[in-house]
Each structure stands twice: as C-alpha cells, then as structure tokens.
Amino acid sequence: MYVSVVLFTADLRLYDHPPLRAALSGPREVVPLFVRDTGVAAVGFAAPNRSAFLADCLRDLDAGLRGRGGRLVVRSGDVVAEVCKVAAEADADEVHMAADVSAYAHRRERRLRRALEAEGRRLYVHDTVTAAVTPGAVTPASSDHFAVFTPYFRQWSAQPLRDVLEAPRSVRVPSGVGSEELPSRAALPGVSPGLAEGGEAAGRKRLTAWLRSGVAAYEDRHDDLAGDATSRLSPHLHFGTLSPVELVHRARRAGGPGAEAFVRQVAWRDFHRQVLAARPGAALADYRTKHDRWRSARTAGDDIAAWREGRTGYPVVDAAMRQLLHEGWMHNRARLLTASFLAKTLYVDWRVGARYFLDLLVDGDIANNQLNWQWVAGTGTDTRPNRVLNPVTQGKRHDPEGVYVRRWVPELRDVAGAAVHEPWKLGAADRARIGAYPDPIIDLADGLARFRRARDRG
Ligand code: FAD
C-alpha cells in the first residue's frame, strides 16, 4: 500500500485542503500528523491563548478524521526529526505539507526536504493553502514584491482562484503509528477568560453566520468599536481552520459592497504575507528605517507598563488594552490606535508593542502582526508614515456614545455619552465618581512634538 504523511501546520482543517487531497488520490493510506514543535516554543511563540485555541483545533481535527475512519497523530519535539520518525514508522513514500512565509517556515521546509530526501522520501509543498494568492504570484515590474497595497490589490483581484476542494469522505490511517494524547485547553494556565472557541467546526459556523447576517453591513460598520461588527475570523485564518481560498469564493458569491470591502481586507493578509516572504528580516528589522532612536523597556518602563495594563488615562486606549487581556483579541481600529499611541505618542520601539501583542493575540501572526506594527510605526509600507492618531478624536469618532469604553473600563461606567473620552474635563462631582481611574500619562501635544522632532532629525 502506498503511504503518505500529511503534516498539518497552519492549515488545521479537512475542507479545501490540497495536501490532504493530493495524499488521498488513489488507493492510499495517510498519516495525518501534527507536531507540537519545540522550536516554536523556544522562540516564545507558544503563547497561552494560541496554545488553548490550538488544543481546540487539534481535538476538532481528530474528531473530523475519526468521523471518516481515521485519526490524528500528534507528536512533540523537533518537527523535522518527528516527521522523519513517523514516516519511517509508517514506511511512507512521501510527505505533503502547506507552504508558509516566515523565515522559520522556510528553514523548516529546507531542513525537512533534506532529511526526507536522505532517506529516499519526497516532500511536496502545496501553495494556496495558507494564502488565497501565493506570495510572489503577482509582482510589480521592478521588484520581487509589492510595497504599496492599492496596486497589489488590483493584481490580486485579477488572479484566478483555484476551485474549492471538498473534505475527504474517508481517511485510512495505517495501524501501528502511535499518537500522544491530544492537548486540552482546560489544562493550560494563563488563558484569557473570554477566549473564542477554536476548531474547524466553530470556524465554519462563524463564517456561515457572518456571510448570512454580518458581511452586508461591513463597509459601513467595520470601524464601529462598540458594534463589534467585524467577522472575528482572524484566529481561524491564522490556524487555517478556514481556507482563505474558500473564504474569498464564498464572500464574492455573497456579493454587495460589504462583501467587497471584506474581501479587500482579506487581501491585506496576503499583502503582508508577500512582503514577509520576500523580506523575512522585516519580522524584526525596520522595513524602511527612519533612523528612530526609540525609547525602550529600559528608558520607558513605567509608560510601557501603563499601556500594557490599560491605565494610560486615555479611555479608548485603556479599553482596548483591557479587551486584549480579557479576550486575547482586539478590534482592528483599536489595534491601530493603541499601536499608534505606543509607537508615536509614547515613542516606544514598535518591537516592544509587537511582542506584547504576540504574547496575547489568539490570531498573533508574524506577517500580520509585525508588518501592521511597522505600518503604524511608519517604518513599514504606510504611504503616510508620520501620521499620528489622536486617541481622543479617534474615540469620539469610532465610539461616539462611549459604549465601548464603558464596556471595558468599569471606573468610567457612570460617565454618560462622549464625555467618557475626556475624563479630565469632568466636573468635581463626576471626577470623584471615577475613583482610581488615572490622569493621562502624557500630554498629547508633548508626545506629538517629540515624535515630529525625532522624525525631522531622522
Ligand atoms: P475583519 O475586519 O473581519 O477582516 C477579515 C480578515 O481580513 C481578518 O480576519 C484578517 O485575516 C484580514 N485582515 C483584516 N485587516 C487586516 C490587516 N490590517 N492586515 C492584515 N490582515 C487583515 N491580524 C492578524 O490576523 N494577526 C495579527 O497578529 C495582527 N496584528 C495586528 C497588529 C496591529 C498593530 C494592527 C494594526 C493590526 C493587526 N492585525 C492582525 C490586522 C487586523 O487588526 C486583524 O486581522 C483584524 O482585526 C481581525 O479581526 P476580524 O477577523 O474581525 O477582521
């Protein structure tokens, strides 16, 4: 019997899965394998919220495979060593996996190919599993990647998408390949209390509900902080419990301005991925340096702590940072304004903020997180790198009634309407009611002046 191993990484699903489909073509047995990669933990990427969501995903994937006569094999260790071990145990001829974009993923693929070939086995790496459009499939005339989104989006939109693949009907797994016990979210410490449920079944349910009753209003409501009117599909895209190809097909079928705006946003994900694929160093180094001499954990420790804990004295910033702690997720508008506040108003190194986001975000993703942070810090692909978001103006615009702030900052619960965005202007009686809520840690005009001086100097 011909045997293949399918190594699952950021593609934890059965629907629309090209590596699984390829491995199952013909009369074959397949080992569906997930390796809990100690290399990922060693670089600090196995944050509790993502580990918990991952545990849900693995359980759901195993259940889906069992429903089709198979099961998931889980191992822990160095990913290359474990894949080789499993391939030897199953006497497999080939291994299939999805392409990915980070430097870590590229190294993993090179090492795995070398190790498998040394043992006479083949590695097949499949595109359009973790991205709708493969990085590098569209390029400008003069470069290996797009540095500006609008022309990228034009070409991205014109790319034909492959057809969506059905989930397999049955999966036969060879006997004699042992698995570790599946991890469980209940056993993990430090998980945010409001963390969403992981797994393909939860992802598909959310997508269907979103296309039925959320996406139509997306264009008008995506920046409404209190309305929470975005898809919240980002963790499912990060873990691959939803296929980006299927997502785009289905959203386009739904049609209308809301769906168009939503697809454009999904294209941002591919945009950052093609930047990172071409410039893997941009995960940590400025993509376009402005010669900043940032404040750091050593020189701005108190400001960084206040930002992380949601006690800067700017209500919308504090609400957003508390939402992040509680849910392991934050609204895009809130990510923009909290990141701008740290990198520009407080003039703290964007890497400090990016690291903290990665420690908490359930969708924490090297391409999207690091390159969005660079975009906000003005060292990335933003064509207006020196714009600074004012948290009071932003709060009044995107949370005009103060509902979002009151949801997350209980000290301000009794302040009515938009006045909640400027608690320092309240009268003495109201101020007494907001108790321990802090005064602003910085004057916005001072922050702006410092940032402008720094950028003029650069
Ligand atoms: P929706 O508005 O419903 O959008 C649909 C999908 O489009 C998202 O799920 C996401 O995959 C993609 N998308 C939307 N906006 C962006 C964007 N600006 N860049 C790239 N893709 C986008 N997104 C992550 O997935 N992981 C991260 O680690 C991450 N870190 C970020 C850090 C900062 C500082 C900023 C400003 C943005 C970050 N984003 C990140 C992008 C964006 O904020 C989230 O993708 C979005 O808020 C997720 O919510 P949603 O699924 O409801 O999005």
CATH number of the domain residue 69 falls in: 3.40.50.620
Point out the ligand 1 atom lying closest to the alpha carbon of residue 330. Answer: 47
51 alpha carbon to ligand 1 midpoint, in Å? 19
Residues 309 and 452 in one domain: yes
What is the predicted pLDDT for the residue at 304? 98
Residues 124 and 141 in one domain: no
Q: Confidence class of residue 44 from pLDDT cuts 50, 70 and 90? A: low
Question: Domain ends where: 111, 129, 147?
Answer: 129
332 alpha carbon to ligand 1 midpoint, in Å? 6
Domain that holds residue 15: 2-129
What is the predicted pLDDT for the residue at 447? 98
433 pLDDT above the threshold of 90: no
Burial track 18-43 (b if 16+ CB lie within 10 A, e otherwise): bbbbbbbeeebbbbbbbbbbebbeee
Residue nearest to atom 42 of ligand 1 (CA): 332
Residues 377 and 398 in one domain: yes
Question: What torsion, rounded to 10 degrees, do the Cα atoms 253, 257, 261, 263 define?
Answer: 10
Q: Is 383 helix (H, G, I), strand (E, B) or coil?
A: coil
Residues 92 and 136 in one domain: no
- Tell me if 229 sits within 8 A of 221, measured CB to CB: yes
Asked, for residue 187, whether it belongs to a domain, the answer is no
CATH number of the domain residue 235 falls in: 1.25.40.80
274 pLDDT above the threshold of 90: yes
Asked, for residue 174, whether it belongs to a domain, the answer is no
What is the predicted pLDDT for the residue at 430? 84
Question: What is the distance between the alpha carbons of residues 311 and 288, in angstroms, rounded to a whole number?
Answer: 31
Residues 32 and 14 in one domain: yes
Q: 194-229 pLDDT, tens per residue? A: 999 999 999 999 999 999 999 999 999 999 999 999
Number of domains in the chain: 3
417 alpha carbon to ligand 1 midpoint, in Å? 28
Q: φ, ψ for residue 290 (rounded to 5)?
A: -115, 15
Mean of per-residue pLDDT scores for the chain: 96
Residues 352 and 440 in one domain: yes
Asked, for residue 74, whether it belongs to a domain, the answer is yes
Residue nearest to atom 50 of ligand 1 (CA): 232
57 alpha carbon to ligand 1 midpoint, in Å? 20
Give residue ranges with CB within 6 A of ligand 1.
Answer: 222, 230-234, 237-238, 265-266, 268-269, 272, 332, 335-336, 339, 357, 361, 363-365, 368-369, 372-373, 376
CATH number of the domain residue 424 falls in: 1.10.579.10
233 alpha carbon to ligand 1 midpoint, in Å? 9
Asked, for residue 241, whether it belongs to a domain, the answer is yes
Q: Confidence class of residue 436 from pLDDT cuts 50, 70 and 90? A: confident
Q: 95-147 pLDDT, tens per residue? A: 999 999 999 999 999 999 999 999 999 999 999 999 999 999 999 999 999 99
Asked, for residue 173, whether it belongs to a domain, the answer is no
Residues 154 and 118 in one domain: no
Mean pLDDT to the nearest integer, 391-407: 98
> 151-165, 295-309, 394-408, 425-439: lowest mean pLDDT where?
425-439
Residues 395 and 347 in one domain: yes
49 pLDDT above the threshold of 70: yes
Question: Residues for the chain: how many in total?
Answer: 458
Asked, for residue 314, whether it belongs to a domain, the answer is yes
Residues 233 and 313 in one domain: no
What is the predicted pLDDT for the residue at 428? 87
Mean pLDDT to the nearest integer, 394-409: 98
Residues 42 and 73 in one domain: yes
Q: 156-203 pLDDT, tens per residue? A: 999 999 999 999 999 999 999 999 999 999 989 999 999 999 999 999
Residue 220 C-alpha from the chain's centroid = 23
Residue 56 C-alpha from the chain's centroid = 17
Residues 142 and 60 in one domain: no
What is the predicted pLDDT for the residue at 40? 77
Asked, for residue 172, whether it belongs to a domain, the answer is no
Burial track 280-309 (b if 16+ CB lie within 10 A, e otherwise): bebbeebbeeeebebbeeeebeebbebbbe
Q: 247-271 pLDDT, tens per residue? A: 999 999 999 999 999 999 999 999 9
Asked, for residue 408, whether it belongs to a domain, the answer is yes
Mean pLDDT to the nearest integer, 73-82: 97
Q: 1-15 pLDDT, tens per residue? A: 899 999 999 999 999
Residue nearest to atom 47 of ligand 1 (CA): 332
Residues 315 and 396 in one domain: yes
1 alpha carbon to ligand 1 midpoint, in Å? 44
CB atoms within 10 A of CB 123: 20
Instruction: State the angle between helix axes of 332-340 and 350-360 in degrees (0 to 180), rounded to the nearest 10.
Output: 150
